[in-house]
Amino acid sequence: MKFDDVIGNEEVKDYLRKSLENKNILHSYLFLGTEGIGKLKLAKEFAKFVLCQNNSEENCNCKSCLCFEGNNHPDFLCINERRRCYKS
Ligand SMILES: [Zn+2]
């Protein structure tokens, strides 16, 4: 999984991996913490993996993955502390 490339956040990554293994994926997640620790990258990689239409193949070009690559996925919404919303 791509989020293996995210440095640190081991407890969070373990939690997310177990959620996937147990097929216990929640309808939303909050990634909170200090700026610059990889929250956004981890959140995007997790969401991209979950939403992929081809079981998250390497270099997948499904519609969902292409939307993520274009920072325009309709099911991924990021809200920062200033309450600015933006898409993937
Ligand atoms: Zn895909």
Digit-coded pLDDT (tens) for 33-70:
888 888 888 998 899 999 999 977 778 999 999 998 89
Who surrounds ion ligand 1 at CB < 5 A? 52, 54, 60, 62, 65
Q: How far is the CA of 44 from the centre of ligand 1 (A)?
A: 13
Q: How far is the CA of 7 from the centre of ligand 1 (A)?
A: 23
- pLDDT class of 1 with cuts at 50, 70, 90: low
Q: How far is the CA of 40 from the centre of ligand 1 (A)?
A: 19
Residue with tokens 């993955």: 65
Residue at 53: amino acid letter? Q
pLDDT, mean of residues 4-21:
88
Considering only CA atoms, give the Rg of the chain.
13
pLDDT, mean of residues 69-80:
86
Distance CA 65, CA 47 (A): 10
pLDDT, mean of residues 73-86:
74
pLDDT, mean of residues 18-43:
89
Domain count, the chain: 1
Range of the domain at 6: 2-87
Residue 84 has a pLDDT of: 60
Q: How far is the CA of 55 from the centre of ligand 1 (A)?
A: 7
